[in-house]
Amino acid sequence: MADDTTSASAGTLTQFQTDPTHYRHWTLRKDGAVATLALHVQEEEGLGDKYLLKQNSYDLGVDIELADAVQRLRFEHPEVKALVLSSEVARIFCAGANIYMLGKSTHAFKVNFCKYTNETRLGIEDLSANSGVRSIAALNGTAAGGGYELALACDQIVLVDDGNSAVSFPEVPLLAVLPGTGGLTRLVDKRRIRRDRADIFCTIAEGLKGKRAKEWGLVDEAPSKTGFAAAVAKRSADLVTTATRRAAAPVVLPRIDLQQDGLRLAGRYVEVVSDTTTRVADLLVRGPEAVEPCDRAGMLAKGAELWALRAMRELDLCLLHLRVDFPEINIVRVRTQGDVTKLLAVDAALLAHADDGFLHEVRLNMARTLRRYDLTAKSLFALVEPGSCFAGSLLELLLGADRAYGLIAKDGGRLAFSAMNDGALPMSHGITRLQARFCADMAAAASARAALPAAGADIEACERAGLMTMALDELDYEDEVRLAVEERASLSPDALTGMEASLRFPGPETCESKIFARLSAWQNWIFQRPNATGPKGALTNYGLPTRPAFDYRRT
């Protein structure tokens, strides 16, 4: 975990990869079509050595395991049709994010931690919405803060009515911050809690229990202690009977080994090289090396080594390292390399066999990875050069970038669309990156799409169609890109983060996009306000004999 004294530049990388044999905090069990993920946090086994994970509270390591388990349910356990999240600790489901961990973390880590945990919960919601595996939060005890936010990510919530267990959001009254994983938005947008009731709920630290929580809509059922297990079992069985999951063969996800050489991380298809002096990183994504199988049997035989799965898993891992382990990096120059024809064939094959459960999950994984790319707080500059492969699914990297520069040259790069650009890889607010590029003007986006022939178009034609920021000749390209990068690197990263988050998502809003828009605003503001993190702030003084002292002026 990168902090004030340790960073990737010193050779330390956060371990984002794990597997069930190495889980310390979660246990994954399967009973026919029902899977259970049970939380039993080991207090002394946090990622850092300066805090204890008491009361089933979590840090990044706990959430890394959760994200891994959900991903494995997608690919390795296609027989699972319902998921139950529970706790093995008596009278406590989860106390949320560990406060002592947050209090000792850098601002950048706090923000990226909250972003990662929310993406994990969005993954649970995506598992329900697009994979057909619905979920139940079985609250055998109190769910506070991030613990209740985890429950809100599930389709149904069952809270034991034992006279003690409650659901609560104590962040405002106790810590002077807000629920950090989209809880406020999910309350009103997802569970449709009346705003006056939501207002009361978010300002009483003790939360609500049993019958009152059910009456207000905070949970779906509040059975007695003796009836709790039966209620969860019945709901699980009902979900299995109505499940819509596609049939699939199980595919094991092997570990992705990135080779680290100083500030260079390299996989088979993706590499990133960081320069902490200039605050610039170069991200390269390679297309398929050879012709990929396009028939169902061949694609299933290749399994986890399919380019579309392997390359996106590598990209996802590199993005996480850039966020958490390289806070010094402000700008990422994004390049692609490969054969456009081979890449377009991969896209066509994935869509042709979309009814297959495994290949459906491959496409969903691509979509989630690209949304992680959209939500990464770095300036993204796409560079189109000879040998580039910005086509189809990889064209999304250019369409999602903040700027795109192209070199006009003989045998220069060409942009090409595929059917994958027409809605198979949506952004967080539900539209395509092409539509977002034209500020949700669907007619303009369709016109740009139609302007490019099936075989693609050169840089100048793409600039005329509105798909390039600048098309530059060999005399100007290098200097223009260099000056643009240097200028960007001189600006405040805080201002850039807010600016980019505001500009990348024009048009309609969804619950998901609202969560991230609001998180980007409040995390980069409230997490630095004295009332929360100053010497007399509530977060700083939590658990200490001293009391917080607030500046009561509103701003």
Helix (H, G, I), strand (E, B) or coil at 80: coil
Q: What is the average per-residue pLDDT within 242-258?
A: 94
Helix (H, G, I), strand (E, B) or coil at 8: helix
Asked whether residue 133 is assigned to any structural domain, the reply reads yes
pLDDT at 6: 40
pLDDT at 520: 67
Give yes or no for residue 412 having a pLDDT over 90.
no
In a shared domain, residues 157 and 196: yes
In a shared domain, residues 40 and 174: yes
The model's confidence at residue 5, banded by pLDDT at 50, 70 and 90, is very low
Of 354, 73, 86, the residue nearest 232 (C-alpha)? 86
Q: Which of 15-29, 332-346, 485-499 has the lowest mean pLDDT?
A: 485-499
pLDDT at 24: 96
Please answer whether residues 357 and 78 qualify as being in contact, where contact means their C-beta atoms are separated by less than 8 angstroms.
yes
Give yes or no for residue 7 having a pLDDT over 60.
no
Most confident among 273-282, 441-450, 527-536 (mean pLDDT): 273-282
**What are the φ and ψ backbone dihedral angles of 166, each rounded to 5 degrees?**
-145, 165
pLDDT at 413: 86
Asked whether residue 164 is assigned to any structural domain, the reply reads yes
pLDDT at 11: 67
In a shared domain, residues 267 and 214: no
pLDDT tens-digit readout, 92-117: 999 999 998 988 888 889 889 999 99
Of 225, 243, 206, 199, the residue nearest 139 (C-alpha)? 225
pLDDT at 524: 67
Asked whether residue 11 is assigned to any structural domain, the reply reads no
More confident: 530 or 298: 298
pLDDT at 439: 92
**Distance of alpha carbon 202 from alpha carbon 167, whole angstroms:** 10
CA quadruple 411, 413, 414, 416: dihedral sign: positive
Q: What is the average per-residue pLDDT within 171-175?
A: 90
**Distance of alpha carbon 410 from alpha carbon 321, whole angstroms:** 36
Give yes or no for residue 2 having a pLDDT over 50.
no
Domain that holds residue 365: 259-498
From 447, 481, 498, give the residue that closes a domain: 498
Q: Which CATH number do you get for residue 177? A: 3.90.226.10
pLDDT tens-digit readout, 219-228: 999 999 999 9
Q: What is the average per-residue pLDDT within 505-514?
A: 92
For 261-300, b where at least 16 C-beta lie within 10 A, e where not — what string? eebebbbbbbbbbbeeeebbbbbbbbbbeeebbeeeeebb
In a shared domain, residues 269 and 232: no
Give yes or no for residue 517 having a pLDDT over 80.
no
pLDDT tens-digit readout, 9-62: 546 899 999 999 999 999 999 999 999 999 999 999 999 878 999 999 999 999
DSSP designation for 412 = -
Hey, how many other C-beta atoms are within 10 angstroms of the C-beta on 11?
10
Give yes or no for residue 522 having a pLDDT over 80.
no
From 471, 498, 525, give the residue that closes a domain: 498
pLDDT at 526: 78
Give, to the nearest 10 degrees, the angle between helix 60-75 and helix 357-374: 150
Give the whole-number percent of the chain exceeding pLDDT 90. 82
Q: Which of 294-298, 308-312, 542-546 has the lowest mean pLDDT?
A: 542-546
Asked whether residue 527 is assigned to any structural domain, the reply reads no
In a shared domain, residues 147 and 204: yes
In a shared domain, residues 164 and 307: no
Q: What is the average per-residue pLDDT within 1-11?
A: 45
Q: What is the average per-residue pLDDT within 412-425?
A: 93
Asked whether residue 540 is assigned to any structural domain, the reply reads no
Asked whether residue 534 is assigned to any structural domain, the reply reads no
Give yes or no for residue 392 having a pLDDT over 50.
yes
**Distance of alpha carbon 386 from alpha carbon 425, whole angstroms:** 26
**Distance (Å) of CA 154 to CA 74, 122, 206, 235, 502:** 16, 10, 22, 13, 28
**Distance (Å) of CA 457 to CA 412, 425, 445, 460, 486:** 10, 22, 16, 8, 29
Give yes or no for residue 444 having a pLDDT over 50.
yes
pLDDT at 1: 41
Give the whole-number percent of the chain exceeding pLDDT 70. 97
From 458, 474, 498, give the residue that closes a domain: 498
**Distance of alpha carbon 455 from alpha carbon 384, whole angstroms:** 16
Question: Going by C-beta distance under 8 Å and a sequence separation of 6 or more, which residues neighbour residue 176?
Answer: 526, 529, 531, 532, 537, 538, 539, 548, 550
Residues β-bridged to residue 259: 266
In a shared domain, residues 222 and 330: no
Q: Which of 174-178, 291-295, 346-350 has the lowest mean pLDDT?
A: 174-178
In a shared domain, residues 102 and 137: yes
The model's confidence at residue 218, banded by pLDDT at 50, 70 and 90, is very high
Asked whether residue 247 is assigned to any structural domain, the reply reads no
Two tokens at 36? 């259970």
**What are the φ and ψ backbone dihedral angles of 224, each rounded to 5 degrees?**
-70, 170
Tell me the Ramachandran region of residue 356: left when phi exceeds 0, alpha when psi lies from -120 to 50, beta otherwise.
beta
Asked whether residue 151 is assigned to any structural domain, the reply reads yes
Helix (H, G, I), strand (E, B) or coil at 310: helix
In a shared domain, residues 183 and 296: no
Please answer whether residues 202 and 172 qualify as being in contact, where contact means their C-beta atoms are separated by less than 8 angstroms.
yes
In a shared domain, residues 91 and 209: yes
Give yes or no for residue 4 having a pLDDT over 50.
no
The model's confidence at residue 177, banded by pLDDT at 50, 70 and 90, is confident
pLDDT tens-digit readout, 223-246: 999 999 999 999 999 999 999 999
Give yes or no for residue 126 having a pLDDT over 50.
yes
Give yes or no for residue 368 having a pLDDT over 90.
yes
The tally of domains found in the chain comes to 2
Please answer whether residues 347 and 418 qualify as being in contact, where contact means their C-beta atoms are separated by less than 8 angstroms.
yes
**Distance (Å) of CA 158 to CA 120, 155, 164, 373:** 21, 10, 15, 34
In a shared domain, residues 380 and 433: yes
pLDDT at 365: 98
Give yes or no for residue 495 having a pLDDT over 50.
yes
Q: Which of 270-284, 396-410, 474-488, 496-510 has the lowest mean pLDDT?
A: 496-510
- Report the amino acid identity of residue 511: C
Question: Going by C-beta distance under 8 Å and a sequence separation of 6 or more, which residues neighbour residue 310?
Answer: 256, 268, 269, 304
* pTM recorded for the entire structure: 0.94
In a shared domain, residues 283 and 164: no
